Chains A and B, each alone.
Chain A
């Protein structure tokens, strides 16, 4: 499939300039739209998607400086490349454009060869940035993608109060051995879609997926008011979704899928761990281990959702949880209180 030509918005109050610039960029294979001042341009930018802005400075109603300032305030427009084309007098005005975020400045009348080179490079850079964003969204949750875009990437963590949720499918190995691999992948995809939905809708993020197991964080990278309550609500949604899913499976005479969930709450270190080349947003701390142990313990306890004492306290009786007594977990020196919810 051929790529669509890049769409440019030409903003200039002068008709000759608009005509000439449109013609010039169309000859270079781009699609051109025009606006006769900044206000019209902002209206168009809010309604349509453009790949680049060719912006004049001197304009009635709303000038180029005001457009540059307005664009910066709108997150969805903040990364659109702007090339200022003007015959404005004074270096200080050019500097002001660059300071306000313009990618480049081309003096009018615009030299065609220079225009071609600048457009090509700006649009290619924009395309790479867009691609990166799509990739980020695929491999990281949108919260992590957003965090990366606003704070930038740096290995290292911060201490946060969070709830950690572990979840997996009971007897998944047996299920996967009893059916063709395509069906197993299809099952996993469906399962993940449902689990992501439940986690997402309560403000959590999925930080790890291994086979049929996943780990989710509530309270990082974005802080939550009540991470424990969010995690437990997500767990209950997960169970609800699985029971609906099982009704469908039953109708197709397929075995029921059951999940186990473990939740622990407390201070953890959250951040990017790995190398500069390959890293993941994750959480480290004994609460992470505890959540994993609780999840594993669901089989022993015959419960779907197990929580630790800190999560139990944070819930403050709503929803009610049932004390199961103390359990000695591997890797923990003391026996710990466990609750089913």
Chain B
């Protein structure tokens, strides 16, 4: 399986915005990501398809920024197709990809 985060994307980002700012950006994402997952869960429980799409869209957008391709792909599928036949499994798969990406991002910060 491919890396949860494509480090070359982070390298490019670091070059563009500087190392300190990259850390600030990653920390912001790590702080915001659980909220976005919670929004997705809430939308699912409320059968709010628009809310599901929007939460997935935000996660996809941020994951792409940090080169977390697997997370972005899982989020994009939800954005386009909804949660499908087994919503809990789709959410769990996204959560799993996100957790791995967050670990990799944390690793990058810790150097």
A joins B in a complex: yes
A residues with CB within 8 A of B:
13-17, 19-20, 23-24, 27, 58, 60, 87-89, 108-109, 112
Across the interface, do A19 and B24 meet the contact criterion of CB distance under 8 Å? yes
Closest to A27 in B: B17
Contact B54 A16 (CB under 8 A): no
Known: A89-B80, A108-B64. A16 touches B17 (CB 8 A): no
* A20 adjacent to B32 (CB under 8 Å): no
B64 contacts which chain A residues (CB < 8 A)?
87, 108-109
Contact B65 A108 (CB under 8 A): yes
Residue pair A14, B62 in contact (C-beta under 8 Å): yes
> Which among A23, A87, A112 is the interface contact of B61 at CB below 8 angstroms?
A87
Range of interface residues on chain B?
A: 10 to 19
- CB contacts (< 8 Å) of A13 on chain B: these are 58
Q: CB-CB contacts of B17-46 with A at 8 A, as 1s and 0s?
A: 100010011001100100000000000000
Q: Which chain B residues lie closer than 8 Å to A58 at the CB level? A: 54, 57-58
Contact of A16 among B57, B65, B76 (CB under 8 A): B65
Interface residues, chain B, CB within 8 Å of chain A? 16-17, 21, 24-25, 28-29, 32, 54, 57-58, 60-62, 64-65, 76, 79-80
**Distance (whole angstroms) from the CB of B19 to the closest CB of chain A:** 12
Give the docked Cα–Cα distance between A123 and B29 (Å): 30
Given contact pairs A16-B25, A24-B17, A87-B60, enumerate 17 new A-B contacts (beta carbons under 8 Å): A13-B58, A14-B32, A14-B58, A14-B61, A14-B62, A15-B28, A17-B61, A19-B25, A19-B28, A23-B17, A58-B57, A87-B61, A108-B61, A108-B64, A109-B61, A109-B65, A112-B16
Q: Distance in Å from the Cβ of B14 to the closest Cβ of chain A?
A: 12
> Are the CB atoms of B80 and A17 closer together than 8 Å?
no
In the complex, what distance in Å separates the CA atom of A87 from the CA atom of B61? 6
Given contact pairs A23-B21, A58-B57, A60-B54, A16 touches B62 in the complex (Cβ within 8 A)? yes
Give the secondary structure class of B's interface: helix
Q: Which residues of B have CB within 8 Å of A20? A: 17, 25, 65
Q: Do residues A16 and B29 form an inter-chain contact, with CB atoms below 8 A?
A: yes
**Most B Cβ at <10 Å: residue of A14, A16, A17, A60:** A16
A89: chain B residues at CB < 8 Å are 76, 79-80
The one of A27, A87, A109 in contact with B57, judged by C-beta atoms closer than 8 angstroms, is A87
